[in-house]
Amino acid sequence: MKKWWLVIAGLLSYIIGVGLYFSNRIMYMKKKEDAFIQNREILAKRLVREDFDNLPKTEFWVSSPSGYPLKCLFVEPHQTNKWMVISHGVTENKVNSIKYMNIFLKRGYNAIIYDHRRHGDSGGKTSSYGHYEKLDLKAVIDELKRLKGPDLTIGIHGESMGAATLLLYAGMLEDGADFYISDCPFSNFEDQIQHQLKSEIPLPSWTVFPLGRLFIKLRDGYWTNEVSPIKYMKNIHSPVLFIHSEKDTFIPVSMTMDLYAAKEGPKQLYIAKKGAHAQSYNENPQEYEAQIDQFLKLVE
């Protein structure tokens, strides 16, 4: 009998240990320090502090439907009804969005940059890779429409998790923007997790993944298979520019290829030859901006 208790205790320890490790790894992915992000962008000359400080901007706190505040900056140098909303990736913050914001400011748009839940100055305890973030994005866009009126041209640019977030927003909630730019998204969160498991854990995924996804459901309230942009591509009718780096090993370029194939209607694809994950613009700035110019001709 004692042996059975030892077996049961060992099994329970394994289940709890694996479930907690897996869910912690997903829910609390280590973020970059805010000072590190700022210094990185300044050193790379993607952020010129004086130029940014001189931009006319207003700080807003938008209430998330999940019960925490979202820190937003409305950057408004132009008298226009054209707005871009920039959605950053996991571990980053709104400072990483400034380089993308500048692309559109130069092209006559105003912009919103904001911190996702659990990032920067925003509230929220966990990252959900688009599940709750899509609702926050909707709250930001709703606030923009409330403040500036309904007669707006709105585009959304997202990187990595931010790209998945905007596709989920467009496909699950409402096709609420006039166009989307999706830079290095995953197509299916469970496929992305299992892709990462292969390189991080020396165990077959079937010994880890079912426990992990159960613990995420118990602890954070959603199933990982709900976070699947490709399931909702048929609902997106506005134009989408899909971007990815060919050499991305974190999120495979094949995921963007699948999303592009699934999108019906107006679309454009740019696969950068240089750059790792979320480095398409950093490594290919002129090509990247040329692709955006081509895309804006399609949507404007």
* Domain co-membership, 235 together with 146: yes
In a domain, 121, yes or no: yes
In a domain, 133, yes or no: yes
* Domain co-membership, 105 together with 173: yes
Strand order in the sheet with 179-183: 57-63, 69-75, 110-114, 82-87, 153-159, 179-183, 240-245, 267-272
- Give the separation between CA 118 and CA 222, rounded to whole angstroms: 17
Looking at residue 173, what is its pLDDT?
Answer: 75
* Domain co-membership, 16 together with 97: no
Write down the pTM of the prediction. 0.94
Looking at residue 130, what is its pLDDT?
Answer: 98
CATH of the domain at 236: 3.40.50.1820
In a domain, 36, yes or no: no
Contact by Cβ (8 Å): 156, 114: no
In a domain, 35, yes or no: no
* Domain co-membership, 166 together with 222: no
Map residue 75 onto helix, strand or coil: strand
Burial class (CB in 10 A: 0-12, 13-18, 19+), 151: exposed
- Give the separation between CA 207 and CA 248, rounded to whole angstroms: 27
* Domain co-membership, 11 together with 153: no
Q: Could you list the mean pLDDT of each consecutive 10-residue stretch along the chain, which spans 300 residues?
A: 64 76 93 97 97 97 98 98 98 98 98 98 98 98 95 97 98 89 98 84 70 94 97 96 97 98 97 97 98 94
Last residue of a domain, one of 226, 243, 273: 226
Looking at residue 11, what is its pLDDT?
Answer: 66
* Domain co-membership, 1 together with 103: no
* Domain co-membership, 156 together with 220: no
User: Dihedral of CA 286/287/288/292: which sign?
Assistant: positive
User: Which residues span the domain enclosing 18?
Assistant: 1-30+189-226
* Domain co-membership, 217 together with 251: no
* Domain co-membership, 171 together with 261: yes
In a domain, 278, yes or no: yes
What's CA 156's distance to the chain center, in Å?
Answer: 11
* Domain co-membership, 77 together with 11: no
* Domain co-membership, 123 together with 20: no
In a domain, 37, yes or no: no
The total number of structural domains in the chain stands at 2
Looking at residue 201, what is its pLDDT?
Answer: 66
* Domain co-membership, 287 together with 151: yes
